[in-house]
Amino acid sequence: MTGALHTGLVLLSFMVICESEPTHAGPDSLEDPHGTSRLVHQTPHLAFQLVNESLAFSRADSVCRGQFSSLASLNRSEERQGVLELLQQAGHHSPIWVRSPQKTSSELGTLSEQYSQFQALNFPKDFGEGFARVSMSFPTMPSISVCVRVQWNQDWSEVSTIFSYAAPIFTNEFQLRGQVDVQGRVLLALIIHGKHMPYKASFPNDGAWHHICVTWRQSSGHWAIYVDGDLRDTGSSASTSRDIFKDGIFILGQDQDSFGGNFTEPFFGNITDLNIWSTPLEKRHVASVNTCSPITQDVIFRWNPHYLSIHPAVKVVQVFLLCPAESQQVALQACRTLQDGPDQPPQVGLSDCSDPLPFICVSNRERFLKMKQMRDAQNARPTVFMSRLMELSNRSQTVLGQQQSALGSLAQASALLDASAQALEDTQRDGLQPTDMLSLIQLLSLAADAPVDPPPNATGQRQGSVQDLSQSFITVADSIIREDNAHKWQAIKEVVNGPMDVVRSIDRMVTSLSPRLMAETDHMTIHSPNIKLELHHQHLETGFRGSRFCGPQTEKATDPDCILVPYQKMQDLQDNGFQRLTLVNTWYGSLRPLFNPEENITMVPTVTDGSQRYLGTVLGSSVISTTVLGDDQPVSTAVHFQLRHRVQNPSGTVYDPVCAFWDFDLIPEAGGWWNTRGCEVVSKQSGYTTCYCNHTTNFALLLQVYEDQRSQENERTLQVLTFIGCGVSLCGLLFTFILFIAVGVPKSDRTTVHKNLIVALAVAELLLMCSDWVSANEAACFIVTALLHLFFMASFSWMLVEGLLLWSKVVSVNISEDRRMKLYYIIGWGLPVLIVAVTLVVSVDQYKADQHCWLNMETHTIWAFVGPVIFVLVVNAVVLCRVVMVTVSSARRRAKMLSPSSASKMQTFDLTWAVTRPVLILLPVLGVTWLCGVLVHVSVVLAYIFILLNAFQGLYIFLVYAVYNSEVRNAIKRIKEKRKALSFTNCSQPTSFLPSQRAPITSWGRSPPTPSSPETSETSGPPSSSSTSLVIKNGTQPILGHTNPTPPPPRITDEATGVYSKDICYGYTIRVYTKTMR
């Protein structure tokens, strides 16, 4: 125990120590505390460390990862050049381990790698009828193995058939098909004697070549699928107990719905190296074929395009494949090596992964120097924690020279973790220093990679020791991520990517140890103050229980953090052939950083209503995760999770939650970053948010922070004012509509347009007042949202019609009233219905907002309302400007016709009134006041002005077009005079009445005209010379008892000004004056 403990204590020290930066051509010579020789070479951006201690490939990779670096690869030119320079400077000519690239790189060709040229079949996506047929006769096959290399088209995700074998009496004899899932993986499934096996085996849809082998044996019904040499899926079925029929047709790239024809489900991509055997290959045979080693025994078909009948759409192309395959090699556990000879170019080769070889670790140069600086500080003055940890070891048993750079067993890892947990408890008051945190993070990384194979003399105590190790592991991890250490991460941020490095080590440890932990129990929970870990094992064939996992309960929180794998997803896993399921759930309570500018997360803000200013995005919840192991294989499935908001709202700020997960592959050099792909908000409550994600990983809530531009008092005041205004407007609109109907206002196009506008606006405001009452009912809220959208769009459409009608009066467009009204109805009602219908069809899932009954402002759906409204307001603003120009011109002409003595006094007043009067009259129906809505976020004063102008729009319409409208007032006066006339006559049914001589010409807000105020047009004088002017005037001369529904205005002659012309619109007349110049 003490020897293992001391070994681990040595590993807590930094394994890479640089006494000084290099000042000479050769590499620095370093030595670890346990005697291992290391050489360091630095470039402007990278640091390379040659470790002459020979380790197996997996342990070498673990050592580099524990040093916050990575095993050297040859992917980048700078990295490749640095590796070769270090080997040349050190004079090292024996092989070293290097990491395999993710994809074949053309840059590696200069290193004399062993590439093989193949003839491949290209199945283009432009032609779906391409296929290739194997031109040979097949015997009856009690067993079969088929291997093929496939390069999948990354733009194709539908079900595709790689090959199909059809017999004359049964078409779906033997077939391999694939499809792409939401995670970007190609899932594979076999069809044997018509029975479809589950989609479980997979490979990434990365555009690279992948080697696939499928085997089947009739005697046992056993089948298997291998991908790149690894066994990915296996099973057996009693329904496959007969032989595969002979004389069949083998087709590449198509499914045969009939014998040799009716092709469906085409494959797109490249296929090569097809080989068929009449025996089931074992794993070692598959590994050999994967490395391009031929197996000639029991072969039926060997790859040769000359023995294929190829459709014209399929092209034969030349490809170069690395043999063995370019992913991490599995044939004989072969891993990639690099050897730099003195008189020959560097050679890339393969060696057994268990062979001990030296290796090179590569890290960022700044990280390397920061580690040196912190190590020097630790050596000069050890911390309290490190001093206590060294005291717990037995210094009399010094075996430093015999120790290796990785933990060799679980016992060694457990001893070191136990000692670290004890030292943490003893030094709890002093706390951890940044260097201590860095050492413990290294320890967790190494312990997570410790070998899990049990020793030969393991006893029944094995289960307990693994549980103790897991508990110590969680205790040490908890001490690092606790909230007290949040500010200390800044001191080591150049070396460590952050708390998610600890999360990744926990994920690796639990996934590795889960079979051992679940060997004797189906449920296990490990607690610590900031971490809760739960493992749950289920046998799907006996039924499955609930998969809900929740974080620890607190007295204040009634809704804990929880995550759930839906029942249907569990059922899908069972349907896909999985028999055992292990759920690994983890909750982290202290990963959230403090809110400050340095910890702001870059993210595009969601759309707001203009009342808030975006400040940034922060981590605002605990982190919760689920890992699903199906038959001990990681599988991805959809999950629901609920997380409480963990950020306190400072005064004047609000938060908008976003569902996200930590993607370790997003920015690899930074250890990953937050990603929202595949996640969406299901519901938002005041203290928590529910999310859905279509995969499993580590989840959290990101809160987008906004500065509230208005206080809560102002918000409440504006809401109350809006409600009151809508109520008053609704009453005003109803009274106006009733007056138009009851008093018998003469029918005209303008009154018809008024009535439609009133109806649309009244219904919209009534729905707006009732929308909060139905927000709790999802279906009712959706219907109210659609109706609000429809009637507000209709309101603005009729406002547009008001503007078009006014324009036609001013510009005198020659169009009949009947045709004009048909066009107006299409614009007023048809256009809103079309807009709402198209919006619902295009974005029905994103139509409604989450928390209220209105359009979703976080998507582009809101533009289905904002876009048309802006267009209407711009058009009506142009119309209003045109009317103002006409009235100003008229006022100027009037001023010129006045006597010089009164001209200067009257001109300013007339011009001001000429501008003010049409604006006051036309604003309510043109809706131009809604333009100030784009400025409400600038100031709360503008928000009040916007509410006053638009919430009381119905009241304005009532005052202007009912109370002060001459048509309404004259109609009421005619009713009064009718009643008065009836009271003074003996006739029971009078047929006509004399016109009233007392009906004056009424002006809105001004006294009746005088002879000095010209109000007529079309002078009857001689046409020698004249001047014309326009002015808007309220009033028409009513003719009592006139038989026409719309009585024509009287012609009033004035010797000074001319003759009255015509009534233009809205009960207000534009009169043209002509002055005869003598």
- pLDDT, average across residues 363-386: 83
Q: Where are the beta strands (DSSP E) in 513-638?
A: 523-527, 531-539, 549-550, 562-564, 580-588, 612-619, 623-630, 633-635
Q: How far apart (Å, rounded) are the C-alpha atoms in residues 984 and 174? A: 107
Residue 44: strand, helix, or coil: coil
Least confident of 494-498, 615-619, 1049-1053: 1049-1053
Confirm if 618 and 593 have CB atoms less than 8 A apart.
yes
Average pLDDT over residues 81-95: 87
* pLDDT score recorded for residue 738: 86
CA separation for the pair 1055, 1075 (Å, rounded): 9
pLDDT tens profile 719-755:
787 788 788 888 888 888 888 887 777 777 888 888 8
* pLDDT value for 933: 60
What pLDDT shows up at residue 821?
84
What value does the mean pLDDT of the chain take?
A: 75
pLDDT at 64: 85
- What is the pLDDT at residue 79? 86
Residue 932 has what DSSP assignment?
G
3-class SS string, 860-873: HHHHHHHHHHHHHH
User: What confidence score (pLDDT) does residue 925 get?
Assistant: 64
In angstroms, the first-to-last Cα distance of the chain is 126
Please give the radius of gyration of the chain, using alpha carbons only, rounded to the nearest integer.
42
In the predicted model, is pLDDT for residue 163 greater than 90?
Answer: yes
Q: What is the pLDDT of residue 405?
A: 54
Token readout for 577 is 């052939």
**pLDDT tens per residue across span 537-552:** 888 777 666 678 888 8
In 32-71, the DSSP E strands lie at 37-42, 46-55, 70-71
The pLDDT score that the predictor gives to residue 816 is: 62
Q: How confident is the model at residue 148 (pLDDT cuts 50, 70, 90)?
A: very high
Distance CA 1016, CA 1035 (A): 13
Is the pLDDT at 398 greater than 50? The verdict is no
Tens of pLDDT, residue by residue over 815-861, are 566 677 888 899 999 999 999 999 999 888 888 887 778 888 767 88
Q: What are phi and psi of 481, to 5 degrees?
A: -95, 5
Nearest to 956 by CA among 757, 760, 728, 772: 728
| pLDDT single digits (tens) 213-270 | 999 988 888 899 999 888 888 888 766 578 898 889 999 999 998 888 889 899 999 9
- Quick one: average pLDDT of 463-474? 81
| pLDDT level of residue 514 (50, 70, 90 thresholds) | confident
What backbone phi and psi angles, to 5 degrees, belong to 629?
Answer: -110, 110
Residues above pLDDT 70, as percent of the chain:
71
Q: Is the pLDDT at 790 greater than 90, yes or no?
A: yes
Residue 1028 DSSP SS3 = strand
In sequence order, the β-bridge partners of residue 724 are none
What integer is the mean pLDDT of 415-439?
A: 86
DSSP 745: P
What is the reported pLDDT for 147?
A: 94
pLDDT greater than 90 at residue 162: yes
Q: Any idea what the Cα angle at residue 916 is, between residues 913 and 922, rounded to 5°?
A: 130
| Residue whose token pair is 């085409």 | 266
pLDDT value at position 1059? 36
Q: How high is the pLDDT of residue 546?
A: 63
- The packing angle between helices 863-897 and 778-811, to 10°, is 30
Q: What is the tally of helices (H) and strands (E) in the chain? A: 21, 44
Residue range 288-310: average pLDDT?
86
Q: What angle do CA 979, 981, 984 make, to 5 degrees?
A: 115
Query: For residue 90, is it left (φ>0), alpha (ψ between -120 and 50) or beta?
Result: alpha
Q: How far apart are CA 594 and CA 648, in angstroms?
A: 11
Q: How far apart are CA 29 and CA 38, in angstroms?
A: 6
pLDDT band at 936, cuts 50/70/90?
Answer: low
Max Cα distance, the chain (Å): 136
Give the pLDDT band (50/70/90) at residue 677: confident
Angle between helices 831-842 and 863-897 (to 10 degrees): 150
Q: What is the pLDDT of residue 238?
A: 61
Please report how the helices 434-448 and 2-12 are oriented relative to each other, as an axis angle in degrees rounded to 10: 120
Whether 1046 shows a pLDDT value over 60: the answer reads no
Is residue 593 predicted with pLDDT exceeding 80?
no
In this predicted model, which residue has the larger pLDDT, 865 or 934?
865
Beta carbons of 424 and 472 less than 8 angstroms apart: no
Residue 300, CA atoms < 13 Å, CB-side half-sphere: 22
Enumerate residues 6+ apart whose C-beta is below 8 A from 387: none
Q: Is the pLDDT of residue 786 over 50?
A: yes
CA-closest candidate to residue 53, choices 357, 399, 442, 360: 357
212-221, 280-289, 611-620: the lowest-pLDDT one: 611-620
CB of 147 closer than 8 Å to CB of 331: no
Query: 6 phi and psi, to 5 degrees?
Result: -65, -35
Check whether 595 has a pLDDT greater than 50: no
Q: What is the pLDDT of residue 55?
A: 86
Tell me if 56 sits within 8 A of 353, measured CB to CB.
Answer: yes
455 pLDDT more than 60: no
What is the distance between the alpha carbons of residues 843 and 861, in angstroms, rounded to a whole number?
Answer: 7
Task: Give residue-wise pLDDT tens across range 120-145.
Answer: 999 998 888 899 999 888 998 989 99
Digit-coded pLDDT (tens) for 632-642: 777 888 899 99
Length of the chain: 1078
Percentage, residues of the chain above pLDDT 90: 12
What is d(CA 927, CA 795) in angstroms, rounded to the nearest whole number?
Answer: 9
Query: How would residue 776 be classed by pLDDT, with cut points 50, 70 and 90?
Result: confident
| DSSP 8-state assignment for residue 456 | T
The answer for residues whose C-beta is within 8 angstroms of residue 942's C-beta and 6 or more apart is 932, 935, 936
The span from the CA of 773 to the CA of 852, in Å, is: 10
Strands 549-550 and 562-564, sheet pairing:
antiparallel
DSSP states along 628-685:
EEETTEEE---EEEEEE--S---TTEEEEEEEEEEETTTSGGGT-EEE-TTEEEEEE-
- 691 vs 1048: which has the higher pLDDT: 691
| Res. 902: pLDDT tops 80 | no
| Region 448-464 average pLDDT | 58
In this model, does residue 191 exceed pLDDT 80? yes
- Whether the CB-CB separation of 191 and 163 falls below 8 Å is answered with no
The pLDDT of residue 471 is above 80: yes
Highest mean pLDDT among 452-456, 474-478, 973-977, 1034-1038: 474-478
* Structure confidence at residue 136 (pLDDT): 87
**Residue in 183, 188, 197, 199 with CA at minimum distance from that of residue 163:** 188
Q: For residue 913, which phi and psi values (nearest 5 degrees)?
A: -70, -30
Name the amino acid, one letter, at 960.
V
CA contacts within 13 A on the Cβ side of 103: 9
My answer on whether omega of the bond before 746 falls inside 30° of 0, hence cis, is no
Q: Which residue has the tokens 């719309």?
A: 1046
Top pLDDT among 27 and 872 is at 872
Higher pLDDT, 1043 or 966: 966
Place of tokens 């233009």: 1064
The more confident residue out of 177 and 944 is 177
Residue with tokens 């547009």: 800
Q: What is the pLDDT of residue 488?
A: 83
What are the φ/ψ torsions at residue 614 (nearest 5 degrees)? -70, 130
Query: What pLDDT does 301 receive?
Result: 92
Considering Cα of 261, then 265, then 269, then 275, what sign does the dihedral take?
A: negative
Q: Are 760 and 795 in contact (CB under 8 A)?
A: yes
pLDDT number for residue 920 = 66
Three-class secondary structure of residue 362 per DSSP: strand
pLDDT at 20: 35
